[in-house]
Amino acid sequence: MRSPKRLRLTVFLALGLATGVPTAATSAEAGPTLTGTVTDSTGVPIVGAMVSVSTGKPAHRITVFSDHQGRFATPPLDGAGPYDVRARRIGWRDRQAVGVAPGEALTLPLERETDATALAAQLPANRWYALLLDELEGQPEMREQLVRQCTYCHQQGSLHTRIERSPEQWQKVIALMGRMGGVISPALAEQVPEIFTRAYAPATAVPRLTADRDEPDFAPPPHPEARKAVIEEWDLGHPASMQHDVTMHPDGRLYSVDMTQDMLYRLDPSVPGGDRKSWKVPHGDLELGGALGTGGAPTPSTANARVGPHSLQVAPDGAIWSTLALGNQLARFDPKTEAWTIHPLEEGFYPHTLRFDARGRIWYTVAVSNHVGVLDLATGEHQWIRLPTKTWGQAIMVRMLPVFLWLAQKMDLGAAGEGGGGGSDLPEMPIPYGIDVSPTGDIWFSQLNNHQIGRIDPDTFEVEMVQTPFSAPRRLRFDSQGRLWIPGFSSSVLARFDPETRAFETWELPIEPLGSETPYALHVDRRTDTVWVCGTNSDTLIRFEPPSERFTVYPLPTRVTYTREIDFDAQGRVWTSNSNVPSWQIEGGLPKVIRLDPDPTARARVATTAP
Ligand code: HEC
């Protein structure tokens, strides 16, 4: 039976506006919507429950929040159903409804979660991780190392990373992580088996995590501002994929790179369910692990990476440019002809994050060898700027790099420490990381491990460095006024730097327990200068409005949502990806791209008042 779509939609919108029930944008071919109520088992409304409706395979999932009366309403859905529905709020058991037909108003009663172990398992990874950080209280250097070296591929404190292991098993994990790039010092490696075992032992962790379960601030509903949001997820790739970065094309399609499978993906969200297309990035005669050889591949066992596409941007001419971190190349993909052009690096290792300046040049960090590269698209001139190091040890390491890499191909350097799980005392590399171009054309970048940011003069290529008053500056961005916004990865802060006055301002991210967040990236929507920060270890996106200094925390629907890059579409919606590697640690086991619409009601109002 077909539902009278247009009528239903009008009624829905009128209702929505009159009562404040969340509504969303509509389009000509909009499908039906689902409405209903989330209550407890006695019929009392549950506020701020996440109601997720999925269809299709690969799935497209739309999530809305229940309002102050427990009511929810989805935007128009794909197709005619049936749909799978899940209502979720921490403190209650998930409620699943499978094969729901459009048209029926749903009542979704949730039962209280009375089992403390199950309740603790509902909490985001950062709540567990905080227990581990407590173990390192009084050892700030160890804490700093653990956060920086152990949380840049996957969340810590998530289900897979906290299951009980014997000290011997923990030692094996440390050795395996070291081989993939998560190298810690022998002094920390020695402590790890004990602190992980102690922090995550259910007998002590569960009571600690659930002690204040009856207090109102145990897991409060999201703020009413966050509850307005509509969040959409599109499954993209397969369990061995990793969607690293995303970029929004002006044509409304999202591009994403799969670093472990050497693929470029495109999602067209205007097609119901999402139209997905993918291309293999050419790898020439490179072998697994690419230019870094097998010793340098950041790989789960299922990885199949020769070039390792990492970051991507849309060029002024509409082409997609990507850094091929393992292939040591830049790649250009022409969406019209679907042809690739490859530009090798003649100097440096591991091209990382790229940005365009207004003069047609690509600037990119070269992470492992401590360079910034610049490619002039008009002249073809390609140059590499060597960045300062902080210590002699670092200077020697970056200069000796070709020798190390050659050695790494011949032997397993990661396992060369004592007893396999012994860690390494080699000096930390500086690691140039984020990069951005100021409105006046200056180039600024971060040096992650050196806790510095730096400026490159766009004409003379002169470099100057500035120490940050917080640790681990990661992916930074300018606002429209030329102020630089920076996430402090291991310091759990948002910072603003004024290049004129050289003053820093910092705000602690409002994720409980304070200090347990690891913000990987941020982006500024330059139309409003609103800042969006990745809540990488807490399954959230965090909005910051500079005039009022107000934070809004948006919970995301999938457990283990590891976010690394943010972009915006023309409607001001926020795009990111679930980039946890390995992706089998993600709830449901699949990587995703994600769109968050912070204010769909505004769009619905426009739609209803339009002629
Ligand atoms: C370079 C990326 C990377 C870094 C850095 C990293 N990990 Fe992992 N981690 C992985 C991958 C990939 C897997 C899955 C490994 C597999 O089973 O093939 C994993 C799995 C794990 C697991 C689950 C193992 C299991 O048996 O399922 C734990 C626990 C873990 N990591 C802890 C850590 C710790 C502690 C650190 C810091 C020393 C760390 N990770 C740093 C990539 C990383």
d(CA 220, CA 524): 27
**Does residue 421 have a pLDDT over 90?**
no
Ligand 1 atom at shortest distance from the alpha carbon of 581: 12
CB atoms < 10 A from the CB of 119, how many?
21
At residue 403, the pLDDT reads 74
d(CA 463, CA 444): 10
Residue 174 and residue 186 in contact, taking contact as beta carbons nearer than 8 Å: no
**Does residue 360 have a pLDDT over 60?**
yes
Instruction: Please indicate, yes or no, whether residues 197 and 270 belong to a single structural domain of this protein.
Output: no
Query: Ligand 1 centre and the CA of 116: distance in Å?
Result: 27
**Does residue 59 have a pLDDT over 80?**
yes
At residue 406, the pLDDT reads 66
Burial class (CB in 10 A: 0-12, 13-18, 19+), 17: middle
Instruction: Please indicate, yes or no, whether residues 105 and 186 belong to a single structural domain of this protein.
Output: no
Q: Which residue has the tokens 């950080």?
A: 133
pTM of the model: 0.93
Query: Ligand 1 centre and the CA of 280: distance in Å?
Result: 26
Query: Ligand 1 centre and the CA of 574: distance in Å?
Result: 29
- Ligand 1: residue of 129, 146, 161, 310 to mutate (most ligand atoms within 8 A of CB) is 161
Q: What are phi and psi of 24, to 5 degrees?
A: -140, 175
**Tens-place pLDDT, residues 474-504:** 999 999 999 999 999 999 999 999 999 999 9
d(CA 458, CA 442): 6
Contacts of 132 (CB under 8 A, 6+ apart): 146, 156, 157, 195, 196, 199, 200
At residue 541, the pLDDT reads 98
CB atoms < 10 A from the CB of 527, how many?
10
Select from 158, 159, 161 the least CA-distant residue to 169.
161
Mean pLDDT of 125-140: 97
Query: At which of 93, 112, 131 does a domain end?
Result: 112
Instruction: Please indicate, yes or no, whether residues 184 and 270 belong to a single structural domain of this protein.
Output: no
At residue 418, the pLDDT reads 35
**Tens-place pLDDT, residues 220-253:** 999 999 999 999 999 999 999 999 999 999 999 9
d(CA 244, CA 282): 18
**Does residue 603 have a pLDDT over 70?**
yes
The pair of structure tokens assigned to 465 is 């460095």
Position 473 in a domain:
no
Instruction: Please indicate, yes or no, whether residues 46 and 101 belong to a single structural domain of this protein.
Output: yes
Burial class (CB in 10 A: 0-12, 13-18, 19+), 141: exposed
**Does residue 18 have a pLDDT over 50?**
no
Position 598 in a domain:
no
- Cα 336 to its chain centre, rounded Å, is 29
CA distances from 65 to 22, 31, 194, 602 (A): 8, 20, 40, 16
Mean pLDDT of 176-183: 87
Instruction: Please indicate, yes or no, whether residues 87 and 170 belong to a single structural domain of this protein.
Output: no
Long-range contacts, 515-519 (Cβ 8 Å, 24+): 515/130, 515/133, 516/126, 516/127, 516/129, 516/130, 516/133, 516/492, 517/126, 517/492, 518/126, 518/147, 518/151, 518/489, 518/490, 518/492, 519/474, 519/487, 519/488, 519/489, 519/492, 519/493, 519/494
Select from 233, 288, 238, 234 the least CA-distant residue to 258.
238
d(CA 125, CA 205): 13
Residue 226 and residue 63 in contact, taking contact as beta carbons nearer than 8 Å: no
Q: What is the CATH number of the domain that holds 107?
A: 2.60.40.1120
d(CA 208, CA 129): 12
Instruction: Please indicate, yes or no, whether residues 99 and 136 belong to a single structural domain of this protein.
Output: no
Select from 74, 67, 69 the least CA-distant residue to 53.
74
Mean pLDDT of the chain, nearest integer? 90
Mean pLDDT of 521-525: 98
Contacts of 325 (CB under 8 A, 6+ apart): 259, 290, 307, 308, 309, 310, 350, 351, 352, 367
Q: Which residue has the tokens 């060898």?
A: 369
**Does residue 26 have a pLDDT over 60?**
no
**Does residue 415 have a pLDDT over 60?**
no
Query: At which of 298, 316, 344 does a domain end?
Result: 344
Ligand 1 atom at shortest distance from the alpha carbon of 146: 37
Ligand 1 atom at shortest distance from the alpha carbon of 169: 26
Position 230 in a domain:
no
Q: Ligand 1: which residue has its CA nearest to atom 34?
A: 150
Position 575 in a domain:
no
Number of domains present in the structure of the chain:
3
Computed from CA positions of residues 550, 556, 559, 565, in that sequence, does the dihedral angle turn out positive or negative?
negative
Q: For residue 400, what pLDDT band results from cuts at 50, 70 and 90?
A: confident
At residue 306, the pLDDT reads 93
Residue 365 and residue 433 in contact, taking contact as beta carbons nearer than 8 Å: yes
At residue 606, the pLDDT reads 60
Q: What are phi and psi of 256, to 5 degrees?
A: -145, 145
* Radius of gyration of the CA atoms of the chain, in A: 24
Q: For residue 607, what pLDDT band results from cuts at 50, 70 and 90?
A: low
Sequence letter at residue 8: R
Instruction: Please indicate, yes or no, whether residues 77 and 150 belong to a single structural domain of this protein.
Output: no
Q: Ligand 1: which residue has its CA nearest to atom 4?
A: 182
Instruction: Please indicate, yes or no, whether residues 95 and 131 belong to a single structural domain of this protein.
Output: no
**Does residue 420 have a pLDDT over 50?**
no
At residue 6, the pLDDT reads 34
Instruction: Please indicate, yes or no, whether residues 192 and 125 belong to a single structural domain of this protein.
Output: yes
Position 424 in a domain:
no
Position 78 in a domain:
yes
- Ligand 1: residue of 142, 160, 168, 177 to mutate (most ligand atoms within 8 A of CB) is 177
Residue 243 and residue 260 in contact, taking contact as beta carbons nearer than 8 Å: no
Position 105 in a domain:
yes
d(CA 141, CA 188): 10
At residue 470, the pLDDT reads 98
Q: Ligand 1: which residue has its CA nearest to atom 17?
A: 300
d(CA 384, CA 348): 8
**Does residue 29 have a pLDDT over 60?**
no
* Position with higher pLDDT, 288 vs 387: 387
Residue 203 lies in domain: 118-210
The pair of structure tokens assigned to 10 is 């009008």
Across 40-44, 372-376, 405-409, 482-486, least confident range: 405-409
Q: Ligand 1: which residue has its CA nearest to atom 32?
A: 161
At residue 24, the pLDDT reads 39
Q: For residue 28, what pLDDT band results from cuts at 50, 70 and 90?
A: very low
Position 580 in a domain:
no
Length of the chain: 611
Burial class (CB in 10 A: 0-12, 13-18, 19+), 410: exposed
At residue 410, the pLDDT reads 58
Instruction: Please indicate, yes or no, whether residues 94 and 122 belong to a single structural domain of this protein.
Output: no
Q: Ligand 1: which residue has its CA nearest to atom 15?
A: 300
Mean pLDDT of 19-29: 41
Q: Ligand 1: which residue has its CA nearest to atom 22?
A: 161
Query: Ligand 1 centre and the CA of 173: distance in Å?
Result: 7
Instruction: Please indicate, yes or no, whether residues 35 and 102 belong to a single structural domain of this protein.
Output: yes
Q: For residue 103, what pLDDT band results from cuts at 50, 70 and 90?
A: confident
Instruction: Please indicate, yes or no, whether residues 124 and 106 belong to a single structural domain of this protein.
Output: no
At residue 38, the pLDDT reads 98
d(CA 157, CA 146): 13
The pair of structure tokens assigned to 291 is 């230019």
Query: Ligand 1 centre and the CA of 421: distance in Å?
Result: 13
d(CA 428, CA 420): 19
| Ligand 1 binding site (Cβ under 6 Å of any ligand atom) | 149-150, 152-154, 160-161, 173-174, 177, 180-182, 184, 298, 300-301, 581-582
Query: At which of 89, 112, 135 does a domain end?
Result: 112
Q: What is the CATH number of the domain that holds 323?
A: 2.40.10.500
